[in-house]
Structure 1
Amino acid sequence: MKTADLAELTLLAAIWGASFLFMRLGAHEFGPVAMAALRVGGASLMLLPLLAARQGLAELGREWRALSVIGLLNSALPFALFSYAALSISAGLSSIANATTPLWGALIAWVWLNQRLDRLRICGLALGFAGVLYLAWDKASFKPGADHSAVWALLACMAATFCYGLAANFSKRHTAHIAPLVVATGSQCYAALMLAVPAIIFWPAAAPSAQAWGAVAALSLLCSAIAYVLFFRLMSRIGPTNTIAVTFLIPVFAVLWGYLFLGESFSLKMAAGCAVVLLGTALALGLVRRSGTRTERSVS
């Protein structure tokens, strides 16, 4: 992997590391569906002028089938599912579930795209997930007095990560020929169309606070508009399995932002967890290789 790609992967993890915090700040006031709709709607409004400036709007219509599938699987469904989970469980527990995305992606790639991973990369996936569990375990407590079932919230997280894994592999097969900015913009636009009517139906009765609106704005600009341009550009360069391994780094940045901006403690246990996650990610991405061993083989 090139240094530039690794830098973009790290930036993407840093941006998405704050997404679970933003969802917790806004989900209770907006509700899962309305918040997801505002997130993709706001991202669409930010991305459309940029795509128009590059004369790429016509491609949104030509590629509507593939882009609508990506919008459903990579934005509309998982955003609503994770927002639903934020009503009942902590951000730490959601981030643990989110870290299963590379596992789903690798499994789907093996079944669908006939891609096989060598033992070293399989060990990296397992080690990275173990590091996430170790890092976030103390923060994985259920919030007291939650109105929603924690079991259903966990199932919602797992369903969301399955959607991410499926979307990553679908994107590799059906959108490789489409410019990353077109995929990012189209996926957000079609997701916004899908969620428009449900958002009206489930719009909150009470006016959300300024803090909740700020959380939605951050989710739209940083965690959707900017992040998905990076995501789909990385997808076209390094493939789905490598790109979705970013989920291993997300809890690391969540801890870092908490330490820097919220005054949360950073213990030796957290440092050890970060080290394990980084090592697992390096193995999963093929940054650490055995001599003469290919990290990923495609038989397609």
Structure 2
Amino acid sequence: MSRRGWLLFAAMCLIWGIPYLMIKVAVLEVAAPVLVVARTAVAAAVLLPLAIRSGRFDLIRKYWLPITAFAVLEIIGPWWLLADAERSLTSSTTGLLIAAVPIFSAIISRLTGSAERLTKTRWTGLLIGLAGVALLAAPDLRVGSMLPVLEVLLVAVGYASAPLIVARKLPDVPSITMNFVCLTGAALVYTPAAIASWPAQLPSFRALAALAGLGVLCTAIALVIFFALIREVGPTRAMVITYFNPAIAVVAGVSLLGEPLTVPIVIAFALILGGSFLATSRTREPVDGAAISGEPEPGLAEKSA
């Protein structure tokens, strides 16, 4: 990998590892709809010039149905669920649960007709990863409050499903243009709820900075860097960031917010990451004579918050 590739890779590992920290800070003072509108509207405004230059808005009209499905699975549903879940969960726990995305991706790909079969190695990875998720969710199960955990797992399912729509239905739609439209649509969807739940007083500088960071850094700038990384090293190598983002989330939560780092969390981290690696390992044998090609360009955040 070139020096530029390493720099882009390091930037993405950091940028998509800290959204959970910023969400945790923001939801202490603003409601979930306000957070979603702030994040999506700011990101859309930053991406507008790039979307205009990228063009092909005619394809948005042509593929409006799969684009809507992508927006629901990648932004509209997940970003509200994350904000609501982090009212109860720590940012580090949320980041670790999201690390299960590759596991759900392997399952969904197979259920929807992937050309790659689930080998013994992959089955082992799925079971190990799911064991890690169960270990991480166990404390919430004991106190009878599984809703936040289920919300984050739904986010992981959405993040695992959305890129499949892009790969199979939207290969010709420019990524920046599509994401700009999806972000704008999400902002419009949540605007009425955001108005109804607008805070009575101006949030603190800390919360406002977190909202700005989510929109500008973790969404708009992250997209630009991510697609540059894909062009530099290819989509398969670019998605290795998936295995580093949870570690950044844990370090950020523990060091900046004083969140606990317990032995079960460390073990769950190892199980989820190890299981994800095994579950998404590529087989050398094609199924039914079909060649296994490189992975397609992912959508907005196959690993983003």
User: TM-score range, shorter-chain basis?
Assistant: 0.7 to 0.9
SS at match of 1:225: helix
Matched-pair contact (CA < 8 Å) for 1:248–1:277: no
Matched-pair contact (CA < 8 Å) for 2:103–2:276: no
Supply the AA of the counterpart residue of 1:151: M
Quote the residue 2:120 is aligned against: 119
Quote the residue 2:146 is aligned against: 151
Quote the residue 1:181 is aligned against: 176
Q: Which has the higher relative contact order, 1 or 2, with Cα contacts under 8 A spaced 6 or more apart?
A: 2
Moved more, 162-171 or 47-56: 47-56
Matched-pair contact (CA < 8 Å) for 1:108–1:165: yes
Measure, in 1, the Cα distance between the counterparts of 2:79 and 2:133.
21
Offset at 1:159?
A: 1.7
**What does the per-residue CA deviation read over 1:228-287, in whole Å, with 9 as the maximum and x for residues that have no partner?**
445677889547xx877754432211234467767999999999887777655554554x
Calculate the TM-score normalised by the size of structure 1: 0.74
Matched-pair contact (CA < 8 Å) for 2:47–2:220: yes
Quote the residue 1:52 is aligned against: 52
- Structure 2, gaps ≥5 residues long: 292-305
Quote the residue 1:40 is aligned against: 40
**What does the per-residue CA deviation read over 1:107-163, in whole Å, with 9 as the maximum and x for residues that have no partner?**
2111113343333344445556667888x79xx977xxxxxx842212211222222
Give the RMSD, CA atoms, in angstroms.
Answer: 4.0
Instruction: State the identity as a percent.
Output: 26
Taking the TM superposition and a 5 Å limit, the aligned residue runs for 1:71-90 are 71-90=71-90
Quote the residue 1:19 is aligned against: 19
Measure, in 1, the Cα distance between the counterparts of 2:108 and 2:82.
21
Residue 294 of structure 1, aligned match among 267, 284, 295: 284
SS at match of 1:120: helix
Supply the AA of the counterpart residue of 2:97: A
Matched-pair contact (CA < 8 Å) for 1:132–1:248: no
- Structure 1, gaps ≥5 residues long: 143-148
Matched-pair contact (CA < 8 Å) for 1:183–1:232: no
Paired positions, count: 284
SS at match of 1:156: helix
Quote the residue 1:225 is aligned against: 220
Change (3 A) 1:154 1:285: closer
SS at match of 1:14: helix
Measure, in 1, the Cα distance between the counterparts of 2:18 and 2:161.
23
Matched-pair contact (CA < 8 Å) for 1:102–1:244: no
Change (3 A) 1:166 1:276: closer
Quote the residue 2:295 is aligned against: none
SS at match of 2:173: coil
Supply the AA of the counterpart residue of 2:214: L
SS at match of 1:206: coil
Moved more, 227-236 or 47-56: 227-236
